[in-house]
Every structure is written in C-alpha cells, then in structure tokens.
Chain A
Amino acid sequence: MSIIIQNVSKAFGDVDVLKDLSFEVKTGELIALLGPSGSGKTTLLRSIAGLEVIDSGNILFHGDDTKDKTVQERQVGFVFQHYALFKHMTVFENVAFGLRVRDKKSRPSESEIERKVHELLQLVQLDYLGKRYPSQLSGGQRQRIALARALAIEPQLLLLDEPFGALDAKVRKELRKWLRRLHDELHITSVFVTHDVEEALEVADRIVIMNEGRIEQIGTPEEVYHHCANAFVYQFIGNVNLFHGRVEDKVAHFGNVSVSLPETSEQETKDTVFYVRPHDLDIHHSAPDSTAFKAKIDHVHLAGPVVRVDLTSEWGDPVHVEITQDYYLSMTFQKGMDVFVSPKDGRLFMQDYSI
C-alpha cells in the first residue's frame, strides 16, 4: 500500500509539532523517519496510524483520504516503542487478540486462529513461547511478539515506533538485520521511527530526516550520507568538525588558510562554516599544500579500529581526526607534537541568517 502525506500540520497547544509535511511512501518500501528527539517523527507515525488527529493536510492510503477513518478501520500494524503487550494475556492470546476482536461475521474459527497464531509465532521464531506471559520474556522476545501481534491483522502497512530503542546494543544489531530480512520476505510497506543514524542507514530503503517538525532531506541511505542537503543533515548524520570562516571574492578564509571557490555564486562577503568529517582529515609532519593548517596534538585514543586524535588548531579550535592504525604507526605521532592537518573532503555551508 502506498501512502501520501500532503501538507500535514499538527500542534499540541501552542507548540507546532508537524509543520506542513509532504512526502510519499511507495508500496513495499521500508522507510525510516530519522531525527533527534522532539523532531515530530513519532507524532507523524502516530498520525499515520490514526492515533493522533492531524490539524490540517491529508494522509492518503492507496490514494484514498483517511480523514474519516478510525484507527480500527485503518488496519495498520503498529509496534509500540515499549511494545504495549497485554500483560495479563499469554503470548498466544496477545497475538490472537486482533483476530478475536473481529465481529462475528469475519472472525476466524478457533482452529483457524490457532493455526494462524502458530504460523506467526514461527515467523518470529518464538513458537515455543506461546504459553508464557510477557513479563517472562526478554526485551528482544517481547519486541518480536509485538511484531507478530501487529502482523496478525494482516496489515498492508506496518508502523514501528523506535522498534529497537529499548534494547541493548547487541540485541539491537541482530534484530535490525532480522527486521530487514523479514521485510524482504513479506514486502509489507513499512515505516519505522528511529533516532539512531546507523540503524536508519543500515535498514531503510529510504530515509526521511526530520528536525523541529520539518523534513530536512529525503533520500536513500547513500544519498543522505554522501550528499547531505544542508548543514543540519551533515551534522546529524555523523561526527563532524566545524571551521568558521568568511567568503570574500570567491575565496574562503579559515584562520590562516584560504581556499579559492571558483564555482560559488556568492558575490558579497558572507560568514561560512566548513564541515569536515574526522576521517576526511589527514595529519602530516609538514604542510602538504596550502589548505593545511598547524595544530597541536592533545590526546591520542588508540583503542578501537581507528585511531582518534584530538588536536587544537593554531587559532584555538578543537579538531578531531580519525586515521588508520597503520598510518598512525608509520608516522609516530605523539602527544604535544605540532603537526599539520589538511582536509581531503568537506562541505561548505553559507551561514543562514534566517535562523
């Protein structure tokens, strides 16, 4: 089922949570709503499910407006952040709930319900837990039962609110791989909310990046990672070094470093910020070119797959650099040493005065 979000807005009291949002989810897609907390992503998800009433705009399922459809009529599978399993029911009864509450005409027979529930429990690989109560399960198991329960109503749309938020790091990684595989098997149009960039990049077909009730960028993981639409996305997607400077006559000035920008259209003098990821910076003993600047090594973190070096630039800003173990060992950098840092890549964003 495809979803079209058209100019959706919503406010809680005086706070605008969703500001004129529009985008489309294609049939069979797995979409991540990514953003910091308070960005409105959960509210948007709940609005799609019908758990929140939007103030204006339209949400179309398959081209049909959902305005007059109640939660029950929307038949959306929703997995809650804290699972919301029914505490007083066994796992089996939890999964069977959506079938048992149907009206008499469409309610499947008891044997049909049993068959279906076992099928779903097998799908989430927890068939042996049917008689347990939610309180007897681990976090990861609860999460999968919540998913099985949502799938029981054969939804054409699956919505997941921070599906792995409450799990520890290891279970989280396993489960998101599993979710991706499950989606590839079932092909249900799915939208999940997350604040974890890595999770969104790994699992989703496309990512909708939200901030303060607005959409900052929509794109595939590759697109948002390599072609950040704006400074917010660049900063949100990964670690970053910021260099504040000025653009004058097509030349950018950062401290003592000047970079010519032949393709810029800016005519007047403007403040600018240069964004560089730590792994896009190199450290040298002598200046390799004119873009290099002097810095002093404050600290070297050796634990981990890459070596993280903290430095202070000659004009006093902190700089973080990631280099490979091999490179580090070949260059014999030491704490307190004066070195040169040069960017391999980076993005320049003009300071936005509208903020």
Chain B
Amino acid sequence: MKRHAAITEPRWIRYLLIGISILFLISFLITPLILIFVKAFEGGIGLYLKAFVEPEALAAMRLTALVVCIAVPLNTIFGLCASWAITKFEFRGKGFLLTLIDLPFTVSPVISGLIFVLLFSDKSWLGGIFYNLGIQIIFSTPGIVMVTTFVTFPFVARELIPLMQSQGIEEEEAALTLGATGWQTFWRVSLPNIKWGLMYGIILCTARAVGEFGAVSVVSGHIRGLTNTMPLHIEILYNEYNFTAAFAVSSLMVFGALVTLLIKHYIEWRMKGEKRL
C-alpha cells in the first residue's frame, strides 16, 4: 500500500482532478445530451410521437436510409480492396496512396459539398452532359449520395489497414499451400480474421453517413420531402421554431449515436479478447 502511495498524487489532488474532469464532461457533453430529451418531451409524449409520423419526417428517414445503403457498401468494398492491396503487397507510392485515402478527413464538410456543386453545376463540362440527359445530380438524391460517399470514404480502409498490417500474410500463405484458391483464401481465412475491425469501420462509416450535415446541406437544395435527410430536416424544424419536433427527431439520432457507441464498445471488447488469446 505504501509503495503504491509513493507513486501517485496526494488524495486531495486526485479528488480535485476527478472533480474538474467530471465538471468539464458534464458541462460540455452530458448536459446538452440530457437537454435534447428534456426538450423533446416538453410538450408531452403525444407531441413527441407526432414528430415522427409527419410525412416530411418519414421522407427524411427514407432518404437517409437510402444514402446509407449506397454509400456504406461502396466504401466497404473500397476499404477491403485498398487494405488488401496496401497490406499484402509491396509497391512504390504506398505512403502517398495512404495520404490520399486520408484526404477527405481533412476537407471541411462545406468544401466537400462545394466541390460536387462545381463538378456537376450546369456550367461545368460534366454537369452539362447530365443536364442534356435530363439527369439532375445537384439538389437531388444522386448529389447527396455522392457527397456522403466522399465524406465517409476513408472510414473502413482506415480501420482495416493497421489491423491487416499487424496480421501479416502467413495464414494466407498457409491456405494457398493447402490448395485454396484466392477467393477461398479471402473468404475463409482473411475475412474471418478481420471481421471485428471491418464491423467497426462499417459502424463508424454508417454513423457519419447518417449524421453528415454540412456537405449534404450544400448539395441538397433543401427541398422538403424530397432532398432532406434527417439532419437537414432537424435544421428546418429548428429554424421554423418547431423546437419540440426538432428535438424529438434529434433524440432519435442521439439514441442512434448511443447504440453506435454500445456496438463500438462491444466490438472493442471482442477484439481485445481475441488479442489476449
């Protein structure tokens, strides 16, 4: 006990530090979270539930689901390909490729939206082609899908690359010597080995795809019931002083975020367990 006491801080300092930390987290993190639920239920449960059956709310949820269903699988396939190429082989320019993959993380959401507006505006070359074909990209669903894909681009690859790097290629080689084809090796050996990391990446990617606001806001055109995702729907409700509804929809998203964290911790716990074995 004495030995232990010698290398930590005096008790009052420990309590002070814990106190400050908790106060910091409460004022910046916990209070806003709780407030969302308080505000959401201020008008009673009836008004709360009403926020979800509005046709515009339902349309926003549907659009968000659609966006997630396209952007996340695309980035997952990309993430698997990129991490396979990068971790299983040696080639020139690997470091540069890694930096490029990280790029979307450093681009401001508003700029992410802007570049797609520039790319597909009817004044641009590509936008002109689509305009003549009668396909609207910007201020329409395809634009929202594209920016979301851009913004969530690195998530899966980012999780998988360090994981696969640490695993090496010996198990894959073993599978090949036992007669497995490339596909069999991938499905039966590589994929099971990275399943938790992959799920982790998909979860993070999904959370971001659901919640992206700035970039989507730029390309959506805010057409009610047509090009509003859930975060945009919240913004409109809020700006119309329909606070109860705004906080009600928000509470659903907070709930989603909490579930995400729960899954994340479950996965972390599983990964840790497997590492220990």
Contact present for A72 and B181 (CB under 8 Å): yes
- CB of A241 to closest CB in B, whole Å: 41
Is A87 at the interface (CB under 8 A from chain B)? yes
Contact present for B174 and A71 (CB under 8 Å): no
A91-112 near B? 1/0 per residue, CB < 8 Å: 0000001100110000000000
Take A87-B193, A97-B188, A101-B184 as given contacts and tell me if A152 and B178 are in contact as well, using a CB distance cutoff of 8 Å: yes
- CB of B188 to closest CB in A, whole Å: 7
Expressed in whole angstroms, the Cα–Cα distance for A150 and B174 within the complex equals 9
Residue in chain B with minimal CB distance to A159? B177
Is B176 at the interface (CB under 8 A from chain A)? yes
A74-98 near B? 1/0 per residue, CB < 8 Å: 0111101010111111000000011
Expressed in whole angstroms, the Cα–Cα distance for A63 and B171 within the complex equals 30
Chain A residues lying within 8 Å of B176, measured Cβ to Cβ, are: 51, 70-72
Take A88-B192, A97-B188, A133-B277 as given contacts and tell me if A75 and B179 are in contact as well, using a CB distance cutoff of 8 Å: yes
Expressed in whole angstroms, the Cα–Cα distance for A86 and B180 within the complex equals 13
Within residues 132 to 172 of chain A, which ones have a CB less than 8 A from any CB in chain B? Answer: 133, 135-136, 149-150, 152-153
Most B CB atoms within 10 A — which of A77, A86, A153?
A86
Is A49 at the interface (CB under 8 A from chain B)? yes
Expressed in whole angstroms, the Cα–Cα distance for A335 and B170 within the complex equals 53
Expressed in whole angstroms, the Cα–Cα distance for A84 and B189 within the complex equals 11
Chain B residues lying within 8 Å of A80, measured Cβ to Cβ, are: 170, 173-174
Chain B residues lying within 8 Å of A77, measured Cβ to Cβ, are: 177
- CB of A301 to closest CB in B, whole Å: 40
Take A87-B193, A88-B193 as given contacts and tell me if A101 and B175 are in contact as well, using a CB distance cutoff of 8 Å: yes
Contact present for A78 and B177 (CB under 8 Å): yes
Expressed in whole angstroms, the Cα–Cα distance for A75 and B277 within the complex equals 31
- CB of B131 to closest CB in A, whole Å: 51
Contact present for B193 and A102 (CB under 8 Å): no
Residue in chain A with minimal CB distance to B171? A84
- CB of A33 to closest CB in B, whole Å: 17
Contact present for B189 and A51 (CB under 8 Å): no
Interface of A is mostly: loop
Within residues 206 to 250 of chain B, which ones have a CB less than 8 A from any CB in chain A? Answer: none
Take A51-B177, A72-B176, A76-B177 as given contacts and tell me if A86 and B277 are in contact as well, using a CB distance cutoff of 8 Å: no
Expressed in whole angstroms, the Cα–Cα distance for A136 and B170 within the complex equals 19
Chain A residues lying within 8 Å of B174, measured Cβ to Cβ, are: 78, 80, 84-86, 149
What 10 pairs across the A-B complex have the smallest Cβ distances? A135-B277, A98-B178, A84-B174, A84-B170, A78-B177, A101-B180, A88-B192, A71-B176, A101-B184, A72-B179
A sample of 30 inter-chain contacts (CB < 8 A) reads: A49-B177, A51-B176, A51-B177, A72-B176, A72-B179, A72-B180, A80-B170, A80-B173, A80-B174, A84-B174, A86-B188, A86-B192, A87-B171, A87-B193, A88-B193, A89-B192, A97-B178, A98-B179, A101-B175, A101-B178, A101-B179, A101-B184, A101-B188, A102-B179, A135-B277, A149-B178, A150-B177, A150-B178, A152-B178, A153-B178
User: Which B residues are closer than 8 A to A by beta carbons?
Assistant: 170-171, 173-181, 184, 188-189, 192-193, 274, 277
> 19 extra interchain contacts, Cβ-Cβ under 8 A, other than A78-B177, A101-B188?
A72-B176, A72-B179, A72-B181, A75-B179, A77-B177, A84-B171, A84-B173, A84-B174, A85-B174, A86-B171, A86-B174, A86-B175, A87-B193, A97-B175, A98-B178, A98-B180, A101-B178, A149-B178, A153-B178
User: Which A residues are closer than 8 A to B by beta carbons?
Assistant: 49, 51, 70-72, 75-78, 80, 82, 84-89, 97-98, 101-102, 133, 135-136, 149-150, 152-153
